[in-house]
Each structure stands twice: as structure tokens, then as C-alpha cells.
Amino acid sequence: MRVVYAGWRARVQCVLGYGVLTLLVSLSAQAAQPSAPVSPARTVLVMGDSLSAGYGLAPGQGWVALMAERIAQQKPGWRVVNASISGETTAGGAARIDAELARSRPAVVVIALGANDGLRGLPLEQMRANLDRMVRAARAANAQVLLVGMRMPPNLGKAYTDGFTNTFTTVATQHEVALLPFLLEPIALDRSAYQDDNLHPVASAQPKLRDHVWPALVPLLK
């Protein structure tokens, strides 16, 4: 019996040793196989002012952040870079656009600037030239563009307010880019949708802005 046992133990050790060797060879072969390349995420770059930067809101509450969440859920392979700055004018955006394009290499650029130009009464010719500069730069970088417009209160005078509104239409038409005429349209007449400054929307209004921008943006996410 002692001899039989010794032979059985030898056979078991041989089988186990062969199994371990087979496993190691299999793992080595798997490791040697090149992994499938992971496609880098395509980028939506948002160039805006405080309305897009989430002024007065907690991180993640602004419409751009909410849009990023929706894109992550419904459009895998895309990401959002929010390069918006509170107080930004179209001149500031035009000065920054090249660096932001080089940094993010976006496939889509959302330009949501002009509100501060209007509130400061800056020349409309200058605003148009700045928007034109930004659109041209984005197109030269092979990015699609969504131009998001704004409107001014009537106290600035009809000539200025009409010219301000028409500037966005003119630039979008000239370059044949997508246009959302008025970012704040869903909440424009709702005083409760704004913070105490009566300029910046509250957190509860941000989903409405996201839902307003979404139909204009989603056709560009191809």
C-alpha cells in the first residue's frame, strides 16, 4: 500500500504541475496579445460667461455641468470642457479661443458670449468681429459650432437691442453654423428663476436651460 500511495501522489503532483504550467502559458499568451485600442473621448468645448460658468451656484448645478452628465449618459465617447469665465466678453473669448482649441482639441465648440458686451453697451461692430473671429478659429480647427445668442433689455434702446439680437443671426448665417437664438428663453419672464441680482438663474432653473440647449447641440454629437 505504501508503494501504491507513493505512485498515486507522484501522478497527482504531475497533473497539478502540468495544470499550473498550462495556466501560466495561457496567461502569458493573453498578456502578449495587444489590447483593443481605446478611442479618446470627443470634446465639446463651451466658451461662455457667468451664465455658463455657474455663477452663484454650487459645483455641478450649472446647465453646462448638467449637460455634461446627460452627454455622459446618452452619448458615450463624448466629454464636456467648460472654459467659461464670469465677466467674459466676446473680446476675451476671441483672445482665448486659440489656446482653448489647442488645449482641448474639441469636435464641437459652443460659443455663448455677448451678454457682457450688451450690458456694457460695447459697440456691436466689435462684438460681431469677435464672434466672427471665434467661429473662424473653431472651423479652422475642424470643429462644429453652436452659437448661443442673448437678448438685451429694452432700456438700451430699440436700435441697440435689435442690432444686438441680429448680430448672432448674422454671424451664424454667414458661417452656416447652428444657432440657438436666446439662452434664457425658457425663463426670461420668470422673476423667481433668477438670483437676487436679477441676472443669473438659480439652481432650479438650470435644468430648463440644459433642456433648451440640448436639441440644438445633440445633432452635432455625431
Q: Please, which pLDDT band fits residue 11 given cuts at 50, 70 and 90?
A: very low
Specify the number of domains making up the chain: 2
28 is catalytic: no
Query: Looking at residue 121, which CATH number applies to its domain?
Result: 3.40.50.1110
197 is catalytic: yes
The residue length of the chain stands at 222
Query: Do both 46 and 76 map to the same domain?
Result: yes
Domain extent at residue 166: 42-220
Give every CB contact of residue 198 below 8 A, 6+ residues apart in sequence: 191
Among the listed residues 50, 52, 84, 104, the single catalytic one is 50
Query: Do both 65 and 24 map to the same domain?
Result: no
Query: Cα separations (Å) of 155 from 118, 144, 161, 199?
Result: 11, 35, 9, 15
Among the listed residues 49, 84, 117, 200, the single catalytic one is 200
C-alpha–C-alpha distance, residues 77 and 39, integer Å: 8
- Contact 53/197 with Cβ under 8 angstroms? no
Nearest residue to 184 (alpha-carbon basis) of 68, 47, 49: 49
Query: Do both 14 and 64 map to the same domain?
Result: no
pLDDT at 87 over 70: yes
Task: Give pLDDT, residue 33.
Answer: 54
Tens-place pLDDT, residues 73-85: 999 999 999 999 9
50 is catalytic: yes
